[in-house]
Amino acid sequence: MPATLRLPGKVAIITGGASGIGLESVLLFACEGAHVVAADINEEAAQRAVKLVADMYPDAPRAIAVKCDVSKEADIKACVAKAVDEFGRLDVMFNNAGIMHPADDNALTTEERIWDLTMNSNLKGVWWGCKYAIEAMRKNPDGSKGSIINTASFVAVLGAATPQLAYTASKGAVLAMTRELAVVHAREGIRLNSLCPGPLRTKLLMDFLDTPDKKNRRLVQVPAGRFGEAIEQAKGALFLASDDSSYVIGADFKVDGGICAAYVTPE
Ligand code: NAD
């Protein structure tokens, strides 16, 4: 563990904490001194995440796994209550869980069922997470409040000719909602920001882009010339979670290899 911790004694809930960005964040936040609650719809995988914390960082504060479907208000409410019960407070809420459904397509082909499923997880779930985190942070015994980070995506600000209508709409709404909540709650010391990941080298995306041509069709748009790694997102989330970002409020915080800044990319 590092000599100077960036989340010493903080209590952090990370939704979608069993895989990808969430899993890397569980490990990184624990390594930086936080009590971590790995909340995921996949309970077994969340338990594995917590075991990994204990194996990799035996000196880290205790981490726990909670089964939580973020699209269900009762689950999020219970998850926040569990964190406060176990650790006495809540400092960081990383609303990161999200889905990208393979049947999410264009305006003509996307079924209402897929739209609703996506919105319920990616948008309504973030709302529930904000709602119950704000309530809990207001009650922190020492009066200090907290940081809420909501995962959006680069597709919230860039159009793509490979449509995923519901996903894109849900992520755009996360940006707008986060900005508004950030302004509403800034003066009570609760900071809200969005994390906007670029395209990542995750299994999901790599399975989808299963030929060099498909990968290159994307990579030509990315100034960095490569896909991002989940750990690079976790490092962005750590900055937003920690007091290092104490004056960062309402940001669309892009960790995107430059894709959102690009017109013509390098040869
Ligand atoms: P991932 O699929 O590796 O992990 C997502 C986790 O969320 C899984 O553990 C899954 O079980 C969990 N989950 C799914 N639905 C849930 C629900 N209703 N309640 C609780 N947990 C649920 O995904 P990832 O690539 O790490 O993505 C994390 C976030 O980053 C998502 O919001 C995603 O939209 C966003 N994002 C990803 C990319 C990318 O290229 N991977 C790019 C931009 C944004």
Question: Could you read off the pLDDT of 15-59 as tens digits, one per residue?
Answer: 999 999 999 999 999 999 999 999 999 999 999 999 999 999 999
Cβ of 38 below 6 Å from ligand 1: no
Domain ranges for the chain: 11-255
Contact 165, 105 (CB under 8 A): yes
Query: Residue 247 Cα, ligand 1 centroid: separation in angstroms?
Result: 27
pLDDT digits (tens, 9 = 90+) for 227-258: 999 999 999 999 999 999 999 999 999 999 99
**Mean pLDDT over residues 86-114, rounded?**
97
Q: 2-6, 9-13, 149-153, 237-241: which range is least confident on average?
A: 2-6
- Sequence-ordered list of residues with C-beta below 8 angstroms from that of 155, at least 6 positions apart, any chain: 164, 167, 168, 171
pLDDT digits (tens, 9 = 90+) for 191-214: 999 999 999 998 778 877 889 998
**Mean pLDDT over residues 120-133, rounded?**
98
Predicted pLDDT at 202 = 86
Query: Above 0.90 for ipTM, yes or no?
Result: yes
- Which amino acid type is present at position 225? G
Q: 28-32, 66-70, 172-176, 201-205: which range is least confident on average?
A: 201-205
Q: Which residues of 208-238 are buried (b: 16+ CB within 10 A; e: fewer)?
A: ebeeeeebeebbebbebeebbebebbbebbb
Cβ of 209 below 6 Å from ligand 1: no
Contact 174, 228 (CB under 8 A): no
Percentage of residues in the chain with pLDDT exceeding 70? 100
CA-to-CA distance for 89 and 144, rounded, in angstroms?
Answer: 10
Residue 77: is it exposed, middle or buried by C-beta count within 10 angstroms (0-12/13-18/19+)? middle
Cβ of 76 below 6 Å from ligand 1: no
Does domain 11-255 match CATH 3.40.50.970? no
Q: For residue 42, give the ligand 1 atom closest to its CA.
A: 11
Predicted pLDDT at 171 = 98
Cβ of 68 below 6 Å from ligand 1: yes
Active site residues: 167
Query: Residue 267 Cα, ligand 1 centroid: separation in angstroms?
Result: 32
What global pTM score does this model have?
A: 0.98
Query: Residue 174 Cα, ligand 1 centroid: separation in angstroms?
Result: 14
Predicted pLDDT at 3 = 78
Task: Give, for ligand 1, the residue of 68, 127, 153 to mutate: max count of ligand atoms closer than 8 Å to Cβ.
Answer: 153
Which residue's CA is the nearest one to ligand 1's atom 41?
Answer: 200
Percentage of residues in the chain with pLDDT exceeding 90? 92
